[in-house]
Amino acid sequence: TRSFTDPSVSMDLLRAVLQPSINEEIRGVFNKYMKFFQTAAINVRDNVGEEVDPEQLIQETCRSCLEQAKLLFSDGKKVVPRLPHEQAVPKRARQMDEELSRRGSPIPKKRKGRPPGQSLANDRGVSGMAAWKLKVSEPVKRDGPKWDPSRLTETTTFVLGSRANKALGMGGTRGRLYIKHPHLFKYAADPQDKHWLTEQQHMRAIGGKMAYLLIEEDIRDLAASEDYRDSVDLHLEELKPFIPPAWMTEKMQKHMETLRRGGEVPPPEDPPE
């Protein structure tokens, strides 16, 4: 056993006492810059397609920030490995990064332009998202009656995620609905599903892009909530609900059950053309 007179033990006890306060301050720092991460993640979603999960992208970026922040306390022996794309950074940029680390400063001197704390309400995809907070340690709750697979029957109606975004006034930013309401059940259509949806004219052929299906009842419940019911941008006629075939409903039941148990289902991949 180690004595409490051991310097490392004593310091770790102090760290444990201060850790909750430190975590809270770190969360405040990330919230300060969160609007930048949100804007970038939404733009990536718009440019790449719905297979990109903006929330996951933001959390990965935040974790990467924390890893790189360790350089501020490097003893010169242990080096935090850089990501592949960072190894190709020009020499001048690397020198600036190293200089900042030696100075102990996590950010460069202020430059002219919009400060981090200034509102970005007019930026694309950010309006109405300022209340979103970083919740790295809080998993999405997948319990209760809405996550009971037995609620999916052969008469359950579904809507496309793109149409749900339009109906709730988020048509310009496809991923915004999933960021604001991560508790919603969504099912990523596989090639077989998309073939049926296209044949039935519920959607256009979209190649390898992701298509999500949501439960119509969940979207109408959202529309009736305080956040949306008085909105002038509410257009429920955009939903265009439909009843999928039994074989597709069965797949969605299994998908819901897997997610409810804490498992992750990989996104479907289209076969090569």
Query: 19-34, pLDDT tens digit by residue?
Result: 988 988 998 898 888 8
Determine, yes or no, domain membership for 107: no
d(Cα 136, Cα 138) in Å, to the nearest integer? 6
**Do 67 and 159 fall within a single domain?**
no
Q: Please report which confidence band the pLDDT of residue 12 belongs to, taking 50, 70 and 90 as the band edges.
A: confident
Share of the chain above pLDDT 70, in %: 67
User: Which of 69, 71, 45 has its CA nearest to residue 58?
Assistant: 45
| Residues in a beta bridge with 213 | 160, 187
Determine, yes or no, domain membership for 133: no
**Do 51 and 154 fall within a single domain?**
no
Q: Which long-range contacts (CB under 8 A, 24 or more apart) does 170-176 make?
A: 171/238, 172/124, 172/125, 173/42, 173/45, 173/46, 173/124, 173/125, 174/45, 174/46, 174/50, 175/41, 175/42, 175/45, 175/46, 175/50, 175/52, 175/53, 175/54, 176/42, 176/125, 176/129
Determine, yes or no, domain membership for 154: yes
What is the number of domains present in the chain?
2
Q: Which of 28, 55, 71 is where one domain is finished?
A: 71
Structural domain span for residue 168? 145-262
Determine, yes or no, domain membership for 128: no
Q: Which of 35, 56, 71 is where one domain is finished?
A: 71
Question: Looking at the predicted structure, is the pLDDT value of residue 151 above 60?
Answer: yes
Q: What angle do CA 44, 49, 51 make, to 5 degrees?
A: 100
Determine, yes or no, domain membership for 164: yes
Determine, yes or no, domain membership for 23: yes
Q: Which of 53, 71, 89 is where one domain is finished?
A: 71
Q: Determine the distance from the C-alpha atom of residue 168 to the mean position of all C-alpha atoms in its chain, rounded to a whole number.
A: 19
Query: 126-139, pLDDT tens digit by residue?
Result: 434 434 444 444 56
214 backbone dihedrals φ, ψ, rounded to 5°: -125, 160
Which amino acid belongs to residue 110? Answer: K
**Do 154 and 67 fall within a single domain?**
no
**Do 150 and 248 fall within a single domain?**
yes
**Do 156 and 248 fall within a single domain?**
yes
* Residue whose structure tokens are 């003893």: 75
Determine, yes or no, domain membership for 223: yes
Determine, yes or no, domain membership for 184: yes
Instruction: Say if residues 14 and 24 touch (Cβ distance below 8 Å).
Output: no
Rg (CA), the chain: 23
Mean pLDDT of the 167-174 span: 72
User: Which of 190, 194, 186 has its CA nearest to residue 214?
Assistant: 186
Q: H helices of 90-234, where?
A: 91-103, 161-167, 176-180, 191-199, 216-223
